[in-house]
Amino acid sequence: MAGKMNGVRMQRILGLVIATLAFSSLAGGPAVADVQGSMKVRIRNVHVGNVRLDQGRRRGLPIDVTALLTAAKGAPPMVCVLAANSIGNWGWGGWNDAPATPLSAAKAGMNSGDFESDPMPAADLQQLYAGLASDDGCVRELSVRLIGTQKPEVVGAELVSRLGSGDIALRAVAALGLGLVEAQGGVEPLIRTLRDGSVDVRANSAWALGRIENGRALAPLVAVFGDGAEKVRLAAVASVGHMDDSTSSIPALIRVLRQDNSPAVRRVAAWALGNLEAHDGVTALIDALAKDSDTRVREMSAWALGNIEDRRGVPALGAAIRGDAEERVRETAVWSLGNIGDRSAMDILAAATGDRNPNVRGTAAWAIGNMDDEGTHAPPGLLKLLGDDDTDTRLKAAWALGQLEDATALPAIRDALKAEKNDRVRRALIRALMKSGESSQQTLTQLLSSSDPQIREAAVRGIAGARSFDPWPWPWPRPRPYP
């Protein structure tokens, strides 16, 4: 009996944990979808190797660790596995999780596909449908998440029928479920519930329509840009930003960026303009980068200008690099200049190598290398970064020098290689040496005689002209600014 009671308490507390981790940006309880983390994302120009994320900025609300661990003792292993999987190790869970964890035995019977596409027995689905109406938030949460793994043609009609319930919580969780399964049959009912009297129902309906991505929902979503609830506007603007055919909404998004009184909504509007590559929005984004009082709005505006890759944004990005007090804005502006690839910005980037923040300096090095302007003389600031205190900055500087292939940088690269202790940076320096035309017999002999097999391999690859070895540093703005 004690074990059952512990399990019940664990479900309740872990329900709060799941809600906290998954829905931290919208404080609306477990029935309200997260427009900042759960939307499908269209990623452009991304290399998937060596990605560094600022995990601290992505974490949600504080967790009551004492209550969590107390309730966890003796709880059913399956509940613990589901809860642990929801945490996800910030990108290191799933298929590449550690081979031995405290719950390995319980996980052995649950592969990653167990709750993804396998059809559930009808009796289980009926139990989950009943769970949607539970007065326990954890039961509702787990029920809708499991329903969300099923095919829309199987569960869609049941979810639509619950949109008409007199119970606000049930309507909200039904909208969430329709978004999770991306039910095309739910589009018209969800459009109607955009006018629901409940903020949570309207917000989830807007979120779900963005997941479904049906063009019929575009005009109704734009119409709720003026909703009195910030949560609803956030969901609607984010959803429009995910619709590929939503270019007609760009004037409305510009108005939101310029006029909405919520920094969070303005930030998502800036993201939407960038994600849609809206050249008509460049002027508004430039103004927001220069004038908005909120750091996150300026950061997102900088990112959007880089994602649109419109050269009109270069002067504004340069001004932000030189003058914005917030390092996250300066770093994102540097990244954007590198992504735009306008070589007229080289002097701005060279100056940014002297920024007081290592993230800005490292991203400036990457941006210079991303210009890929072979034969360009390496800026003195880039050479100086070979001795930077920050390892990641040195790595990006070495990579950038390899991209530039500047023979005049060889003495600085040789000196840096003699002093460098980090293996990855040393391999990057060897790559830079070879691509810059290293021909010194003494240097080559030392590299090929190294006791480190990775150093020898890098030297051999470089001599042979292979260019596919480490590193390939890809600095994402911290955090990668998707709403």
Instruction: Encode the chain (483 residues) as per-residue pLDDT tens digits.
Output: 444 444 444 444 444 444 334 333 333 333 456 544 443 433 334 333 333 333 334 444 566 778 877 877 887 887 777 776 666 543 333 444 555 667 767 766 665 455 556 788 999 999 999 999 999 887 888 889 889 999 999 999 999 999 999 999 999 999 999 999 999 999 999 999 999 999 999 999 999 999 999 999 999 999 999 999 999 999 999 999 999 887 899 999 999 999 999 999 999 999 999 999 999 999 999 999 999 999 999 999 999 999 999 999 999 999 999 999 999 999 999 999 999 999 999 999 999 999 999 999 999 999 999 887 666 789 999 999 999 999 999 999 999 998 899 999 999 999 998 899 998 898 889 888 888 886 665 566 666 667 777 667 666 665 555 454 454 555 555 545 666
Instruction: For the beta carbon of residue 179, count every other beta carbon within 10 angstroms.
Output: 28
Total residue length of the chain: 483
pLDDT of residue 448: 66
Query: What homologous superfamily is domain 246-340 in, according to CATH?
Result: Leucine-rich Repeat Variant (1.25.10.10)
- Report the C-alpha gap between 9 and 106 in whole angstroms: 20
Q: What's 470's DSSP letter?
A: S
pLDDT of residue 15: 47
**Which CATH number is 361-483 given?**
1.25.10.10
pLDDT of residue 33: 63
Tell me the CATH number of domain 33-52+113-241, given options 3.90.1150.10, 3.30.565.10, 3.90.550.10, 1.25.10.10.
1.25.10.10
pLDDT of residue 117: 61
The answer for 27, left when phi > 0, alpha when psi is -120 to 50, beta otherwise, is beta
- Report the C-alpha gap between 312 and 277 in whole angstroms: 13
CB within 8 Å of 108: residues ≥ 6 apart: none
The reported pTM is: 0.79
For the chain, the domains span: 1-24+59-101, 33-52+113-241, 246-340, 361-483
What is the crossing angle of helices 152-162 and 168-181, to 10°?
160
Q: How far from each other are the two terminal CA atoms of the chain, in whole angstroms?
A: 44
Sign of the CA dihedral 414, 420, 421, 425? negative
Q: Do residues 161 and 167 make contact, with C-beta atoms less than 8 angstroms apart?
A: no
CATH topology agreement for domains 246-340 and 361-483: yes
